[in-house]
């Protein structure tokens, strides 16, 4: 692992680790933001078979965020961890920065800044998720293996 990855991954993960810990320790503040989406949340949880308790969902999301942030920071399955954080943080960013519900110019500015910060972090996660650390992707390796098997089969026929 390069020095850049050793430094950058924990830096990126730190924000998500802090958010996850806060969600687990203090779910009420986070659950208030989720309440706006209660009708949509109810449909999704019913379809998937999960409870629709916002506090429970906030804590579960926080626990997933903590685990993925630790994995990203430590370099254990960093691509999976980065994509997991991206998947979990996108709906959280929408709930935290509801631009459509802003009342007044100042609140709209605050939500816009939060949305831009969230988008920047999401971009960093997508880059981290796509980083193969100089190794070919699994898809490329599978395609190469298929091609090699096809050549071997053609040669033996």
Report d(CA 144, CA 147) in Å as an integer.
Answer: 5
pLDDT bracket for residue 88 (50, 70, 90): very high
Question: Token match 């449909």: residue?
Answer: 43
- C-beta of residue 115 within 8 angstroms of C-beta of residue 97: yes
Q: What are the tens digits of pLDDT across the range 93-136?
A: 888 888 787 888 988 898 899 889 999 999 999 999 888 777 78
Q: Where are the domains of the chain?
A: 3-156
| pLDDT above 80 (res 92) | yes
- In this prediction, what percent of the chain has a pLDDT beyond 70? 99
| pLDDT above 90 (res 148) | yes
Q: Is 134 helix (H, G, I), strand (E, B) or coil?
A: coil
Q: What's the pTM value of the predicted model, to 2 decimals?
A: 0.77
| pLDDT above 90 (res 49) | no
131 or 1: which leads in pLDDT: 131
Distances (CA, A) of 87 to 55, 84, 94, 121: 19, 5, 12, 12
For the segment 66-82, the average pLDDT, to the nearest whole number, is 94
At residue 1, the pLDDT reads 58
């Amino acid at each position: 692992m390069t020095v850049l990855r050793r430094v950058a991954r924990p830096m990126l993960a730190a924000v998500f680790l802090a958010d996850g810990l806060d969600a687990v320790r203090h779910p009420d503040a986070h659950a208030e933001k989720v309440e706006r989406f209660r009708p949509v949340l109810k449909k999704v949880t019913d379809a998937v078979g999960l409870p629709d308790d916002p506090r429970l969902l906030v804590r579960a999301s926080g626990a997933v965020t903590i685990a993925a942030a630790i994995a990203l920071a430590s370099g254990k399955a960093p691509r999976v961890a980065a994509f997991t954080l991206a998947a979990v943080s996108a709906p959280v960013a929408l709930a935290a920065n509801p631009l459509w519900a802003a009342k007044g110019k100042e609140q709209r500015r605050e939500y816009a800044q939060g949305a831009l910060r969230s988008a920047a972090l999401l971009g960093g996660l997508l880059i981290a998720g796509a980083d193969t650390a100089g190794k070919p992707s699994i898809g490329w390796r599978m395609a190469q293996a298929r091609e090699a098997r096809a050549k071997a089969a053609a040669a033996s026929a």
